[in-house]
Structure 1
Amino acid sequence: MKTGLAAIVIGAVALAVLGLVLVLLPGPTASFGWFAYQPVGDFGFVGGAPFVPASRLWGLGILAIAAVIGAFATGWVLGKGRGRRESEPRSVVDRAPDE
């Protein structure tokens, strides 16, 4: 493994670890809340998209980037193993005999 490829792999692993840490961090806790009275009596809460902390979104994005870099490095390694094969020159063209 050459230095450039090793740096790419190390960078991808570091990004994956950082993304995993950000995804697994607990979300922030609410520092306020309505518990004694109902502030708006004529409003019914309709649940929308669940709250997702910004750290989790960043972590998922970084994990996706690490996966793309890892796929690139894997393709690079697999592609380098396949060199151009020199075929033997053929004087006769292979084709079916005329009937």
Structure 2
Amino acid sequence: MKIGLAAIIIGAGALAVLGLVLMLLPGPTDSFGWFAYQPVGDFGFVGGAPLVPASRLWGLGVLAVAAAIGAFVAGWVLGKGRGRQEREPRSS
């Protein structure tokens, strides 16, 4: 295996680990404030924390890039083994 291909595999592995770490980071915690009055009667308030934290989205994106690089390397290795086969001339 050439050094360049090994570097790509190591880089894809590092990206996969980074993506997993980003996905496993805890999300932001909610802070609640209590009011003695109803500020707006016809509006349903949703807390400030997003449903999916940004770190989890970044982790999924990095994992997708790592998977794409891994698929490229797998295709490269499999395709390299199937070189053009030269035909032998038929003898009659």
TM over 0.5: yes
Take 2:55 and 2:9, find their aligned partners in 1: how far apart are those partners? 24
Once superposed, what is the RMSD of the aligned Cα atoms?
A: 2.1
Note the C-alpha offset of 1:18.
0.1
3-state SS of paired residue (1:76) = helix
Q: Give the TM-score of the pair, scaled to structure 1.
A: 0.76
For residue 60 of structure 1, what is the aligned residue in structure 2? 60
Note the C-alpha offset of 1:76.
0.8
Deviation string 1:39-63 (CA, Å, 9 cap, x unpaired) is 32222458xxx61111111110000
Q: How many residues align?
A: 88
Q: Partner letter of residue 72 of structure 1?
A: F
For residue 35 of structure 1, what is the aligned residue in structure 2? 34
Unaligned runs of 5+ in 1: 93-99
Q: Give the TM-score of the pair, scaled to structure 2.
A: 0.82
Unaligned runs of 5+ in 2: none
Take 1:44 and 1:12, find their aligned partners in 2: how far apart are those partners? 44
Q: Partner letter of residue 5 of structure 2?
A: L
3-state SS of paired residue (1:13) = helix
For residue 80 of structure 2, what is the aligned residue in structure 1? 80
